[in-house]
């Protein structure tokens, strides 16, 4: 008995959000009819649940209220939970905030630079690693490709900042050896700063997706390939008609994870050692701008920052929804 019920939960979970909400309502309605069961259960979940409610649950609710109030950290009068509410004033201000839209545009550009290339590249690396016959070699490649993922993001960015250094950095030394006359001052020029920020981000994150793709590829039954081989499919056809379609769940997951870089903050803050957003604010992503609004500038306008943050969250949900929709309909 105890074994069967969690599996129902897992089934519901794999059916998507709507199923989870439906099952949640069902459970809520039938809660009174359920048996109390083993009361130790409450004791065992208590530490995790209490910590979750205090440190995760409460900030979600509080942040939502903040997004509709003129909360300023340095002005205590503005901090009332209900009395601080100011309707949609923050949202109207956001609509007219040029800096926000510029930073949002930079965030979109950053995502557009980062996402397609990284997806293709990590798929490419994953397919190649999956073709390696020698198991030791394959695992060495996996470990090395994944290693940047585990490094602290700030250290990784600082290491790259050293490589980018126009005088002492190894990158420009290499470029000069290759015959490039005037290698760019990567982090110092407004034209290059955003690109200079994209490269380490790709380096830092592609290994994670490579591993997800690899897990997906290893899970594809080899019999499918055998059947295709009997039908005379060549390597490219196998990739196109078997590997790609069967990796669809992995693609969904990766696109959803990848859309999160819209609110990328840390990369820029670590590379430029603060919230300046790089030369001429050319790498000021929306995440950095809202961080600056909340924690660095003026009265520390946390309410307005929460508004921007909620806006980014909604954008993220919309993207996730689109990804799910397109991935589902194509399969049908």
Partner 1 sequence: MASLSQTIKRNLKRPDAWIINASLIFICAVCLLPVIWTVSSSLKDRQELYMATPSLIPKNPTLGNYRWMFTRADMSRIPLNLWNSIKLSIGAVIIQSITATMAGFAFARLDFRGRDLLFYILIMLMFIPRAGGLMATYELMSFLGLRNSHLGLILLYPSGISVALFIMRQTFLSVPHELEEAAIIDGAGTWRIFLNVDLPFAQGGVVVVAIFEFIYVWGEYLIALTLLDFPELETVSIAVTKLSGWSAHFTSSVLAGYGTECAAYTMAMLPVILVFVLMQKWFVRGLTEGTIKM
- Residues 15 to 74: which contact partner 1 by CB under 8 A? 16-17, 20-21, 23-24, 27-28, 31, 34-42, 44-45, 47-49, 51-52, 54-60, 62-64, 66-67, 71, 73
CA gap 13, 3 in Å, rounded: 16
Told to check if 331 binds partner 1 by CB under 8 A, we report no
Size of the site for partner 1 (CB under 8 A): 121
- Binding string to partner 1 for residues 100 to 129, with x set by CB under 8 A, is what? -------------------------x--xx
- Least distance from C-beta 215 to partner 1, angstroms? 6
Told to check if 262 binds partner 1 by CB under 8 A, we report no
Told to check if 245 binds partner 1 by CB under 8 A, we report no
CA gap 200, 117 in Å, rounded: 13
> What H or E segment, with its residue span, contains residue 35?
none
- At 171 the three-state DSSP class reads helix
Structure-token pair, residue 213: 């793709």
Nearer to partner 1, 56 or 181 (CB): 56
Nearer to partner 1, 147 or 280 (CB): 147
Told to check if 144 binds partner 1 by CB under 8 A, we report yes
- Least distance from C-beta 71 to partner 1, angstroms? 8
Structure-token pair, residue 102: 């510029």
Closest listed residue to residue 63, CA positions, set 321, 316, 304, 317:
304
Told to check if 190 binds partner 1 by CB under 8 A, we report no
Q: Are 279 and 186 in contact (CB under 8 A)?
A: no
Is the four-CA dihedral 168, 158, 287, 256 of positive or negative sign? positive
| The one among 106, 123, 163, 194 contacting partner 1 by CB under 8 A | 163
Q: Are 250 and 212 in contact (CB under 8 A)?
A: yes
CA gap 324, 321 in Å, rounded: 5
- Binding string to partner 1 for residues 297 to 316, with x set by CB under 8 A, is what? -----x--xxx-xx-xxx-x
| The one among 12, 85, 108, 246 contacting partner 1 by CB under 8 A | 12
Contact partners, residue 250, CB within 8 Å, separation at least 6: 212, 213, 215, 216
């Amino acid at each position: 008995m105890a074994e069967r019920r969690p599996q129902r939960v897992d089934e519901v979970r794999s059916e998507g959000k709507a199923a989870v909400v439906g099952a949640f309502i069902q459970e809520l309605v039938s809660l009174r009819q359920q048996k109390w069961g083993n009361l130790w259960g409450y004791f065992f979940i208590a530490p995790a649940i209490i910590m979750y409610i205090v440190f995760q649950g409460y900030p979600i609710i509080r942040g939502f209220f903040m997004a509709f109030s003129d909360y300023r950290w340095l002005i205590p009068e503005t901090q009332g939970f209900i009395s601080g509410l100011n309707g949609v004033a923050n949202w109207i201000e956001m609509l007219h905030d040029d800096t926000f839209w510029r930073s949002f545009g930079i965030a979109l550009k950053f995502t557009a630079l980062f996402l397609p290339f990284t997806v293709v590249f990590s798929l490419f690396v994953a397919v190649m690693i999956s073709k390696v016959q020698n198991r030791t070699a394959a695992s060495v490649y996996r470990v090395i490709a994944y290693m940047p993922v585990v490094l602290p993001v700030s250290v990784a960015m600082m290491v790259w900042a050293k490589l980018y250094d126009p005088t002492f950095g190894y990158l420009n030394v290499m470029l000069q050896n290759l015959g490039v006359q005037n290698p760019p001052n990567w982090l110092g020029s407004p034209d290059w700063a955003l690109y200079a920020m994209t490269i380490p981000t790709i380096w830092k994150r592609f290994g994670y997706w490579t591993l997800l793709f690899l897990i997906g590829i290893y899970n594809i039954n080899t019999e499918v390939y055998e059947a295709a081989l009997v039908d005379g499919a060549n390597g490219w056809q196998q990739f196109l008609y078997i590997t790609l379609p069967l990796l669809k769940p992995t693609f969904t997951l990766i696109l959803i994870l990848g859309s999160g870089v819209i609110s990328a903050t840390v990369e820029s803050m670590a590379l430029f050692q603060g919230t300046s957003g790089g030369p001429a604010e050319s790498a000021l992503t929306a995440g950095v701008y809202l961080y600056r609004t909340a924690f660095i500038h003026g009265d520390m306008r946390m309410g307005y920052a929460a508004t921007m943050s909620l806006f980014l969250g909604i954008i993220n949900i919309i993207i996730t929804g689109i990804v799910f929709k397109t991935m589902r309909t194509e399969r049908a």
